[in-house]
Amino acid sequence: MKKIFIIFITVLLMLWPVAAFAHGVDINYQTKTAVEIVAKFDTGQPVSGAQVIVYAPDNPTEPWVTGKADENGRYIFTPDPSKPGTWDVQVRLAGHGGVVHVPVGGDNTAASGSTGYGTIQIVVMSACVIWGFIGTALYFGRRKS
């Protein structure tokens, strides 16, 4: 009987924290890169309330998202990083407008890819590294023999 009581209390204590966290909040985070557009007229005045249309690089004809600039001509959107390339953002107000081109993701990869080494240079460098390993192996192999 005493044993059953102890088990009961133990189970109760195990359940208690579950009840305590029933109204808890599960918070996760994910970092994303947002793009801020600020549109101004040539005079420096903000293009307040301008219509904004964002086109993703994989579909240049259909808007990816549309919105409105705030009173300071500012608009923020978060491009989908799985769609690398040039994102086009069109801003219009009362017959005035323009398009700004925002490079996203892929360009960075391309930039890091273009390190300035040519294909031949890379091949020669790789060959040198491999030969270094082989040479080292041969050196130690000779000492043993």
Partner 1 sequence: MKKTVNLAAGIVLLLFLLAISGCNSGASDETGQQAQQSAQKTGTLQFIANGEDFVRQGFVSKDGWAITFDHVYVNLSDITAYQADPPYDAHAGGAVQAQNKAALAGTYTVDLALGDENADPILVGEVTDAVSGHYNAISWKMIRATEGPAEGYSMMIKGMAEKDGQTVDFTIKDEQEYLYTGGDYVGDERKGVLQEGGTANVEMTFHFDHIFGDAETPLEDELNTGAPGFKPFASIAKNGRVDVDMATLESMITQEDYQKLQAMLPTLGHVGEGHCNVEKL
Query: Please, what is the minimum distance in Å from the beta carbon of residue 76 to partner 1?
Result: 21
Among 49, 60, 81, 132, binds partner 1 (CB under 8 A): 60
- Residue 89: other Cβ atoms inside 10 A: 21
Residue 11 interacts with partner 1 (CB under 8 A): yes or no: no
Specify the residue for token string 């978060």: 78
Residue 49 interacts with partner 1 (CB under 8 A): yes or no: no
DSSP character for 33?
-
Cβ-contact 69, 47 below 8 angstroms: yes
Query: Please, what is the minimum distance in Å from the beta carbon of residue 52 to partner 1?
Result: 12
Instruction: Select from 8-16, 20-28, 36-44, 69-77 the region that touches partner 1 (CB under 8 A).
Output: 36-44
In the complex with partner 1, which residue's Cβ is closer, 48 or 86? 86
Among 8, 98, 109, 110, binds partner 1 (CB under 8 A): 98
Structure-block tokens of residue 131: 């030969």
Query: Please, what is the minimum distance in Å from the beta carbon of residue 132 to partner 1?
Result: 11
Q: Mapping DSSP to helix (H, G, I), strand (E, B) and coil, where does residue 124 land?
A: helix
CA–CA dist 87, 100 (Å, integer): 8
